[in-house]
Structure 1
């Protein structure tokens, strides 16, 4: 169905719904609280959401972010302080943790947010101060890198907007607000409720084929973040029930949000429908504070009298309407994006567009971006996909032969993992290890930060999985508390690795016979066995020259890298000195880069079939600390040469991309791989890159970064082979196909090449078969009985 036809059908459903609800207006409007009570409940409700957020995070903040945590925020802030001195660090990374970053301060900040939520429920002047305290605590903890889920973005936005609503009365005086809000603020709040759900509808249904995707929920109940027992059972429901639920979901997510634009009965009906949807999702999944939070945002729709009109919007205040007009305008722009691009789209390289004149607007959005005041929403793909999920599993060993798993508390990772219901608690580790292999990821192991994140420090040579592995090798008690148990209670293992598991629900019969809930089998090894390496903590935060190449704006924000980019007129004899600069890199280390590393990487350069062997040979020859130093030196050479490449040369090469300079960066890698003389020749005449670009292939482009970051290359290669096999419908264009057709920068630029080649490491995959009914059958697990794993009558 064409997009225009879908829109027309949706408009018809909206119109019919509005007309029917007006027919029953008296009954429906009686179901809504008064406007004063509505806004009092909203303020207290956001206080309740803050309590849920901070209470859930309280036991996780030190294991994840403390000095002995997986991502020590103190080390991160120390590097930021060095790279962005003075007020810059406050502007780019606003947090009160600049005043103190100890574990005690982290816990105090989190508990201050919790106390703020309690004060908000009490109301009065203490209620407003409590909401402000909670929002301040949330903003301060944002730099930990743990608040990037869609429900986190919702709380950031709602937690800021609620500060403009009237304060709630003290509890002893009633549940209502002290007075009605300024109309433009009330409308902005209702717009948040509307566009959040429409964001999900846009992502989920704009590219959906309703006739083929009406069994979407059969797979979704399995590959959602953390399915509970009810979701597991619903996956096995008769197909007619799944189709009916899908139709109801479309109606609520696509049609009912538009009812919010109408006053009276339609808005009341829409609000109750959206709240009931949240209740249903709450019962069938574990989505942190999302369901409770969004339901409470929707309570604001019960103000049925306020109308969407120009005169209403600009009444009641002279200061707030212009402010809310900017909010609405940027909100509409955000509607073009989704959760994955929420924090990154302002940093796209918009300036390359000919005639681009919105520098002021983009500058304003970038200025506000760290505060997450306005967000984009929408997560899930629209296709009905095979019921397979993946999980990253940490395993320890003392002999390198027998491996023991560190079991998760909630994440399904083995046959006996019982689906659990623990919402609204947000188990951040269990949620996090699901995402990396399933889609565009913020797991530190993706090479597409241009699309998914704005934080330049995320592109670390020692990503989240590496750091978690190191903490487990250290036997760190706080980090071990995130797992269900410690299988190495006597002493930490000698080795640790990370593997990916494929997980598929068993049939009813198999579950009753064995007690197993899942078929689970190893797909591949993602991080090869590692030994204890305390030096990791000295290098996990990247130096600014090692930011992802597509973070062009951050290179120019940092004084050190900005200086490198501006040195375009230096003589070639000074290049090595420029590389050293003030970086504490010695002349001997620069010489070693050319003499030792480039010489070692040169043989078989561009041979894709041997890249894993060559990468492991370099890893055996050079320590990870030395490889990190070589990467830093190479990054500085790249920045220097890029400073001499004009926009005309980039356009002639054909590498001008909205998302940045990934391929240009790799093209300079190829120059460096041929030695210092080749580099100096390109330095003298950057136009030689044009000829090189016409002759080069992806294998050569990826060669040096693959050797330096072999784990990253393996991860991306294996992930996309998994996705094209099990997260892609053969009967239609899907995410992977669209990513190949539209160069989205980063590793996406390489997908066409990657998917033509076999995986570069061992990868086992189950077989997914699409039936005429639209249902999927997944087979191939070692413990799986032969034949269809689902009952035949259900599939027909």
Structure 2
């Protein structure tokens, strides 16, 4: 078993599993804090309604067996507890069967939430966590030599994440080919962060260097992951640096963090021994049954890789798609097209029982998405604010709000506490509003002179009314 389970990847496994445990912890905390108003029994897209019309084979989940808000919360708390144990290192010192049980439970819980999460969980980093979490089950605890085939499966996953994103850019928006996409992206990305305005104001020549560096990393450097050391380490380090650059310039939940964590799995153990306050492990066990199990897993992963590879080679490449309901081998990609102007939906309320031209409307403020022009974009990644993200898509097309936007507006009008908890500030919280409406604006970062004169981070221009005033109790409305 020496060649099948070499000890040289032990520290890379340690770095990967600790990082993955952190991502799991963030994911379960985010689910616990947001699920009731989004997916709960009285949520905008209730899980009970979804599982009533969706068969188990299409969305495997423990919630098909039983669902209640209390059970969902208990599942999140279980995930938080197990992720914490893994993060502090207790799980890696346990027997191998305990390791498998803990990481399999984490995977099953996260997959169960993902498969009933509907539109709120329709992001690439959700399926990426599911696939990485499945592989973690089979890397083994600290006293067992890491299976070579699983460590290479991590590289194969990282390759698909990066190469898929690179291909979808080349096949997508022309601005990726003429190197101008970053003239727009930092301003129009879904969730800007405190440094996005500074990145946006970089010279155009530097933006072109950024795009070119991105192409080289995603389309050329990634092949180095399959080369011998130290080439694989150099490739992984370049990917980690680019992911750090993305974390500095935007809020992409845990996508960049998890991608960097995957890259840790490709680092040379000698480098990690120098960086980490631990020595190279020795005398690692190599149980034959575990080697046979990982071989069987590898055969299954090879078979399941057919559709993702076919998708990579297709001119009609899909982004962030799964080809099996367990999300074991997926396809990835992001920003095949880049919006050239930023639009935002702004919700307003009034306590005027008969709104007219002189009515004063006060704005709702989201936790992160731009609304107040004087507020600096906050940093919240790697945490994920699902409502804020979906509102970016709604501003592009109200069709993205199908099934949940109408209930959202009606619950704002009804002053629903759960819905209010998703927001940073709500007008008329005590008595509730008389009416709520939504208006569409065009946003852009202020220039240096505008920022100096007004103190504002954003300048906005009114476009049109998106949703007519909705009263409480709820009345019908129509998006325009």
Shorter-chain TM-score bucket reads 0.7 to 0.9
Aligned equivalent of 1:526: 466
CA distance in 2 between counterparts of 1:72 and 1:479 reads 13
CA distance in 2 between counterparts of 1:341 and 1:247 reads 23
Q: TM-score, normalised by structure 2?
A: 0.84
CA 1:51–1:95 in 2, change beyond 3 Å: closer, same or farther? same
Aligned partner (choices 283, 297, 302) of residue 248 of structure 2:
283
Aligned equivalent of 2:14: 40
User: Is 1:108 aligned to residue 74 of structure 2?
Assistant: yes
CA 1:277–1:42 in 2, change beyond 3 Å: closer, same or farther? same
The residue matched to 2:459 in structure 1 has which SS? strand
CA 1:338–1:373 in 2, change beyond 3 Å: closer, same or farther? farther
Aligned equivalent of 1:141: 113
CA distance in 2 between counterparts of 1:287 and 1:473 reads 30
Cα deviation code 1:551-579 (max 9, x no counterpart): xxxxxxxxxxxxxxxxxxxxxxxxxxxxx
Aligned equivalent of 2:285: none
Count of residue pairs the alignment pairs up: 438
What RMSD in Å do the two structures reach over aligned CA positions? 2.7
Aligned equivalent of 1:511: 451
Aligned equivalent of 2:302: 325
User: Is 1:128 aligned to residue 100 of structure 2?
Assistant: yes
User: Is 1:470 aligned to residue 386 of structure 2?
Assistant: no
Q: TM-score, normalised by structure 1?
A: 0.52
Greater C-alpha radius of gyration: 1
Cα deviation code 1:78-131 (max 9, x no counterpart): x42xxx6xxxx3223322223432222221111211122123332234443332
User: Is 1:499 aligned to residue 478 of structure 2?
Assistant: no
In 1, are the aligned partners of 2:366 and 2:388 still within 8 Å (CA)?
A: yes
The residue matched to 1:526 in structure 2 has which SS? strand
In 2, are the aligned partners of 1:203 and 1:379 still within 8 Å (CA)?
A: yes
Cα deviation code 1:473-522 (max 9, x no counterpart): 22111220111112012322222222222111110110011001111123
User: Is 1:152 aligned to residue 118 of structure 2?
Assistant: no
Question: How big is the shift at 1:200?
Answer: 0.8
CA 1:140–1:222 in 2, change beyond 3 Å: closer, same or farther? same
CA distance in 2 between counterparts of 1:395 and 1:338 reads 39
In 1, are the aligned partners of 2:369 and 2:388 still within 8 Å (CA)?
A: yes
In 2, are the aligned partners of 1:264 and 1:304 still within 8 Å (CA)?
A: no
Cα deviation code 1:289-347 (max 9, x no counterpart): 11111111112222699xxxxxxxxx96453342122133233134246565625xxxx
The residue matched to 2:226 in structure 1 has which SS? coil
User: Is 1:418 aligned to residue 367 of structure 2?
Assistant: no
The residue matched to 2:395 in structure 1 has which SS? coil
Cα deviation code 1:405-427 (max 9, x no counterpart): 21111101232231111211111
CA 1:400–1:374 in 2, change beyond 3 Å: closer, same or farther? farther
In 1, are the aligned partners of 2:348 and 2:436 still within 8 Å (CA)?
A: yes
Aligned equivalent of 1:247: 212
User: Is 1:408 aligned to residue 387 of structure 2?
Assistant: no
Aligned equivalent of 2:280: none
In 1, are the aligned partners of 2:10 and 2:269 still within 8 Å (CA)?
A: no
Relative contact order (alpha carbons < 8 A, sep ≥ 6): 1 or 2 greater?
2
User: Is 1:168 aligned to residue 141 of structure 2?
Assistant: yes
CA 1:200–1:63 in 2, change beyond 3 Å: closer, same or farther? same
CA 1:35–1:340 in 2, change beyond 3 Å: closer, same or farther? closer
Structure 1: unaligned runs, 5 residues or longer: 1-32, 170-176, 306-314, 344-364, 446-462, 535-622, 625-708, 715-796
The residue matched to 2:121 in structure 1 has which SS? coil
More helix by proportion, 1 or 2? 1
The residue matched to 2:464 in structure 1 has which SS? strand
In 1, are the aligned partners of 2:12 and 2:269 still within 8 Å (CA)?
A: no
Question: How big is the shift at 1:533?
Answer: 5.3
User: Is 1:189 aligned to residue 154 of structure 2?
Assistant: yes
CA distance in 1 between counterparts of 2:178 and 2:40 reads 44
Aligned equivalent of 2:284: none
